[in-house]
């Protein structure tokens, strides 16, 4: 399994960056986890988006979903369609993204497509949101999406080869009412779950990724900062 980080900026994209979009490849199959602002252009530089196996949307926040609105134009114009696994229920952005080109299906509790098995678990965020676990070829990748709490992720992430975790805030910025985790909380989760590698994601452009990495590494040394274009083989 190969992970290519198309985008990982939090809340809004950095200059020439992109918000959340994680491409997971296995053989000829490819899943896109989230499709935030700036993802479509960078994805197109990597592969034809119409050749994705499916899109997985963790939640309907703009920085995770906005490029679905232009992806649907791409698919409509090229007369193609893709499965879109997303949280059930109505959402204004979901209504805007509605199209025959995006075959919407419920994300929970998971699905199998090609060589991928995907499980989803509900997490705490201001809108319905899920973490996903992607298994293929004997490897496991967990992506938390956005979450304000670690539970129920220690069990869900247990022994994962790679954990991509919301780590938006410094310890000084974080409190339990925040909609995202801190880098330190992400590292505590990685330690509890005994994952192989922790990838810190969702760093907003106003925060310093090195500070977040330093705070996480003090708890979990196998932490790395996500960056746009990062590639990792599991
Ligand atoms: Zn969010």
- Give tens-digit pLDDT for 55-74: 999 999 999 999 999 999 99
CA of 61 to the centre of ligand 1 (A): 5
If DSSP codes are grouped into helix, strand and coil, which group holds residue 63? helix
Fold that domain 2-233 belongs to in CATH: Metallo-beta-lactamase; Chain A (3.60.15)
Distance 78 CA to ligand 1 centre (A): 30
Spell out the residues 6+ positions from residue 130 whose beta carbon is closer than 8 angstroms to its own: 58, 59, 87, 107, 108, 120, 121, 122, 123, 145
Q: Determine how many CB atoms are found less than 10 A away from the CB of residue 227.
A: 15
Residue 109: the pLDDT is 97
- CA angle 50/21/202 to nearest 5° reads 170
Q: Ligand 1 centroid to 27 CA: how many Å?
A: 30
Residue 127 has what DSSP assignment?
A: S
* Å from CA of 126 to ligand 1 middle: 7
CA of 165 to the centre of ligand 1 (A): 13
The torsion angles phi and psi of 71, rounded to 5 degrees, stand at -60, -35
- Whole-structure pTM value: 0.97
Question: 164 C-alpha vs ligand 1 centroid, how far in Å?
Answer: 15
The DSSP bridge partners found for residue 3 are 24, 232
129: left (phi over 0), alpha (psi -120 to 50) or beta: beta
Query: pLDDT digit string (tens) for 167-211?
Result: 999 999 999 999 999 999 999 999 999 999 999 999 999 999 999
Mean pLDDT over 109-132 rounds to: 97
Measure CA 105 to chain center: 18
Domain edges within the chain: 2-233
Beta bridge partners of 218: none
Give the chain's largest Cα–Cα span.
50
Mean pLDDT score of the chain, rounded to an integer?
A: 97
Residue 147 has which token pair?
A: 């979450």
Question: For residue 182, how far is its CA from the centre of ligand 1 (angstroms)?
Answer: 14
Distance 143 CA to ligand 1 centre (A): 13
Whole-number Å distance, alpha carbon 11 to ligand 1 midpoint, is: 8
What is the per-residue pLDDT for 157?
A: 98
Average confidence (pLDDT) over 10-27: 97
90 pLDDT more than 90: no
């Amino acid at each position: 399994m190969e992970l290519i980080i198309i985008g990982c900026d939090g809340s809004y994209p950095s200059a020439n960056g992109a918000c959340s979009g994680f491409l997971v490849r296995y053989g000829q199959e490819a899943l896109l986890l989230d499709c935030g602002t700036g993802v479509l252009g960078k994805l197109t530089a990597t592969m034809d988006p119409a050749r994705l196996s499916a899109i997985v949307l963790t939640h309907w926040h703009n920085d995770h979903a906005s490029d679905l609105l232009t992806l649907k134009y791409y698919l409509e114009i090229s007369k193609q369609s893709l499965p879109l696994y997303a949280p059930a229920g109505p959402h204004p952005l979901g209504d805007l993204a509605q199209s025959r080109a995006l075959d919407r299906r419920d994300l929970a509790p998971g699905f199998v497509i090609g060589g991928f098995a995907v499980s989803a678990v509900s997490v705490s965020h201001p809108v319905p949101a899920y973490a996903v676990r992607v298994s293929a070829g004997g490897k496991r990748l967990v992506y938390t999406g956005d979450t304000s709490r670690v539970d129920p992720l220690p069990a869900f992430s247990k022994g994962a080869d790679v954990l991509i975790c919301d780590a938006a805030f410094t310890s000084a910025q974080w409190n339990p009412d925040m909609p995202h985790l801190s880098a330190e909380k992400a590292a505590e989760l990685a330690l509890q779950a005994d994952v192989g590698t922790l990838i810190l994601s969702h760093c907003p452009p106003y925060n310093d990724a090195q500070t977040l990495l330093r705070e996480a590494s003090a708890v979990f040394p196998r932490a790395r900062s996500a960056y746009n274009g990062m590639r990792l083989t599991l």
